[in-house]
Amino acid sequence: RACIFLVISCPCALVISVPLSFFGGIGAASRNGVLVKGSNYLEALSEMKTIVFDKTGTLTKGEFVVSEVIPNGWEKEGLLEVAALAEGYSDHPISAALKKAYEEAELGELSMDRVEQAEEIAGHGIKAKIDGRVVYAGNAKLMEEKGVEYEPCTVPGTVVYLAAEKEFLGTIVISDTVKPEAKRAIAQLKQSGVKKTVMLTGDRKDVGEAVAESLGIDEVYTDLLPGDKVDKVEALLGELGEKEKLGFVGDGINDAPVLSRADIGIAMGSMGSDAAIEAADVVLMDDNILKISSIMRIAGKTLQIVHQNIVFALGVKVLVLILGALGMANMWEAVFADVGVSVIAILNSMRTLKVK
Q: Which residue in 54, 263, 287, 338 is the catalytic one?
A: 54
Determine the longest span between alpha carbons in the chain, in angstroms: 100
Residue whose C-alpha is closest to residue 352's, from 32, 52, 30, 24: 24
**Is residue 286 annotated as part of the catalytic site, yes or no?**
no
Angstrom distance (rounded) from CA 184 to CA 231: 28
For residue 192, give every residue at least 6 positions away whose Cβ sits within 8 Å of its Cβ, in sequence order, or none.
293, 296, 297, 300
Q: At what angle do helices 291-325 and 12-31 cross, to 10 degrees?
A: 170
CA angle (71, 73, 75) in 5-degree steps: 60
What's the count of helices (H) and strands (E) in the chain, helices before strands?
14, 13
Angstrom distance (rounded) from CA 143 to CA 237: 34
For 9, 121, 334, the CA distances from 321, given in Å and listed in that order, are 7, 69, 8
Angstrom distance (rounded) from CA 328 to CA 116: 89
In order, the DSSP letters of 69-82 are EEESSS-HHHHHHH
Do residues 267 and 282 make contact, with C-beta atoms less than 8 angstroms apart? yes
Catalytic site positions:
54
